[in-house]
Amino acid sequence: MKVIFGLIILLFAQIVIAQTNTWVSYQDITDVHEIAEEDGWLWIGTNGGVVHYNLADGRKEYFNKANSGLIFDNVEAVYIDRQGNKWFCTFDGVSRFDGTNWVSFDKDNMGISRDWVHDAVQDAAGNMWFATRAGITKYDGVNWTVYSPATDTVLTSYEIMAIDLDSKGNIWVVSRDDGYQRGGLFKYDGSRWMSFTMHNSEIPDYYFYDVKVDQNDNLWLASNDHGLIKFDGTTFTMYNNMTSYIGDIRVKHLFIDASNHVWASLEKYIADGGITEFDGTAFTNYNSASGNFPGDNGSCVYLTPDGRLFAGVELQGLYERTQNHWNKKELSYCGLPSNQINTVFVDSNDNKWFGTNDSGLVKFSWQGWKRYSMANSDLPDNSVLSINEDRHGNIWVGTRAGAVKISDKDMTVYDKNNTPEIYGDWINDIAVRGDTVYLATNIGYSEFDGSSWSVHYKGNLPNFPSSDDGINAITFDADGNIWMALLFYGVIKYDGVTCTGYTSDNSGLTYTQTKALAFDTLGNLWVATYGTDYYGSNGALYEFTGTNWYDYRTNNSGIVCDYLNFVTFDAHGNLWTGGVQFGSSVISGGFSILKNGVWQNFKRENSDLTYSYVNDIAFDSKGTAWIALADYGAVAYNPDGVTAIRKNRTKAPDGFVLMQNYPNPFGESRAFRGNPITTIGYRVFSPGKVKLTVFNALGQKVAILVNRRQSPGTYRLSFDASHLASGVYYYRLNANDGFFVQTKKMILIR
């Protein structure tokens, strides 16, 4: 969902602040899964979408779920068909991009039961074939045909890992052993399937990651623990640590170069990992043990026709080998060092702070990205759990090994080694009241008044429910009482004298693993709880009025999920909460907004949210929600447009104009002479790509009217809304590489 309401450009200190997309994704690109080449550009499938990389000058273009029609950001395979369409296989389906338009397919329109697509190939007739987690599917441009154990007993496994085509038109696929179903090699000759398994052939393994056909129609198989396997149609030949000098026996990805050499990406398993080249006679290994590869595990490899060698290194990104050295090609477009974000905070200067699970703390400001880690600062641990700001502008950060205070000048560490009043290592939450900072730990809570510390050990708090319990969150009511969310025993209120507990035994709080607390403007307490049963739904959001408890679950309200990590309120008093929903095979979830008694849910399936597991949300002064995800980094969401900060631009683009549609309102009612057509005009100032998109009032895309390069000039087009319902709609013009974005409203009346 991408809706932009207007364009705002402010010029000062050589900074342009411009309204851009409704959603913006921030991810650290660390995994490269596959590379394809077209017209001097590489199409690179990564964990953070697709990177379009120019081989001549290193320019990069990014395509992800938030800024394009890509169905999901984790792209496992890239395939370019003979028509020039790019097919991107993802965990959530497959997307086709023709250079202008995007079309996506998933289980709902592919005829398969699972969305995960591993690989793709095109046959001589133009049909597209896909290896999926639910079998093989063929697409002829109109219809889908599915092949799986449910349709053909020769196929013994649903999860098809890879697919390729030989010169005779035979389809070859490999599958994996999942503990229940036996994998193997399978061939389709156009009429029937044949299997090659350990039961009926000399194939040595049940588990395969990849298959490639070379120029002589030999098959090459990437096996789980038997190395590289060649099949000439009659004989299987193994290349492993016993029969060859291959660098390792777990092969994850294959590539056949123009010289018919086989390149294999290896996982460090029993030997050295890395990548290897086989010229038909000997192996050339590149691995970290020999000092000629930057990591243990290769993820993919690609050799351009003119001899440039690229390799993906697991968790490290893309490298190119030049002059016998591997040089990293930076693909990330932001400064996040990790995609696992535990918490997010926006300070009084609108700086965004991200606490990662394994890579420290990151500050995002108009000056760029700044990282604090154990390696470059006094941060005591790289897992950051909580962030807050005191009234003097100092940033307090809680980690798994104590807290730090960051001022304009320095960083001060407070932990159990230098501050006896801090009990425990994990600082689960940080709260501020007046001049006092409160740190919540698994042992109790500590206070710092600006000059001295005091400690409140949970065992010394009267009526604290259990010495085994820890404090997940801490906040205050209007009367100055301290409220604490406990790991196991619900919620307690501490009035400075005694604790009052609220558990399933004495209140409407039926589930007591509490994660977060927040008070609304009426003084009602809201409690986010988290379930423990993986297949259940025993978490909930609770409202406590001081007298009565009310619960909100997926089975009795419109809330998005039951396993909740946070609850908070925006500047307008709307409630935001979210987390995750576990199921038998799918992780769902997201976040919900409760506005005027109505729930609005945002999930990966119905929005540009890149992952279903949401850990935290914070708001900046422009109303943008900054969303911390358990994986896939962070996203920013604002229905009025996320503010992007760009440096070193002193003049705003001019000459681009989006005109008001005419007539407006328009429609099929008698007042408009039964005409559901309106005219939209716009002016293009400089040549470039122009996109004109129509959205409904919910921010859902209903039409793309223009999506192509255009020359300078004035354009007008007719928009036929005969297929749409009455209501308010918005049309957005995006041009000049995203520096010009403007939206106008139109009204359709039937």
List per-block mean pLDDT (blocks of 10 residues) for the chain, which spans 750 residues.
Answer: 26 31 93 97 97 94 93 97 97 95 91 89 97 95 94 92 98 88 93 93 94 98 97 96 96 97 97 97 96 96 97 97 93 94 95 97 93 96 97 96 94 92 89 95 94 92 84 94 93 95 90 92 94 64 96 93 95 95 73 96 93 95 95 95 54 64 74 69 82 87 88 83 88 77 84
3-state secondary structure 419-486: CCCCCCCCEEEEEEECCEEEEEECCEEEEECCCCEEEEEHHHCCCCCCCCCCEEEEEECCCCCEEEEE
Q: Give the pLDDT confidence score for residue 93 in this predicted structure.
A: 95
- In 3D space, the residue among 301, 134, 147, 281 whose CA is nearest the CA of residue 212 turns out to be 301
The pair phi, psi for residue 527, each rounded to 5°, is -125, 125
In the sheet that 575-581 helps form, which strands lie side by side, from edge to edge?
563-569, 575-581, 588-595, 598-602
- CATH fold for domain 370-612: Methylamine Dehydrogenase; Chain H (2.130.10)
Distance CA 515, CA 342 (A): 13
Q: Give the pLDDT confidence score for residue 582 in this predicted structure.
A: 78
> Where do you find CATH 2.60.40.2550 in the chain?
655-749
Q: Chain-centre distance of CA 611, in angstroms?
A: 5
Distance CA 638, CA 381 (A): 32
Q: Give the pLDDT confidence score for residue 585 in this predicted structure.
A: 52
Distance CA 494, CA 178 (A): 52
Look up residue 631 and give its amino acid. D
Q: Give the pLDDT confidence score for residue 7 in this predicted structure.
A: 25
Residue in this structure with the two tokens 């997201």, named with its chain if needed? 590
Distance CA 118, CA 85 (A): 17
Q: Kindly report the number of other CB atoms within 10 A of residue 327's CB atom.
A: 11
CATH class of 655-749: mainly beta
Which residues share a beta bridge with 636?
24, 626
Distance CA 117, CA 351 (A): 38
Report the phi/psi class of residue 525: left, alpha or beta, with left for phi > 0 and alpha for psi in -120 to 50: beta
Distance CA 210, CA 214 (A): 13
Q: Give the pLDDT confidence score for residue 654 in this predicted structure.
A: 45
Distance CA 88, CA 49 (A): 9
Residue in this structure with the two tokens 């290194």, named with its chain if needed? 313
The pair phi, psi for residue 325, each rounded to 5°, is -130, 150
Global pTM reads 0.81
Q: Give the pLDDT confidence score for residue 337 in this predicted structure.
A: 95
Distance CA 610, CA 613 (A): 9
Residue in this structure with the two tokens 């030049």, named with its chain if needed? 322
695, burial (CB in 10 Å: exposed 0-12, middle 13-18, buried 19+): buried
> Where do you find CATH 2.130.10.10 in the chain?
370-612
Q: Give the pLDDT confidence score for residue 713 in this predicted structure.
A: 78
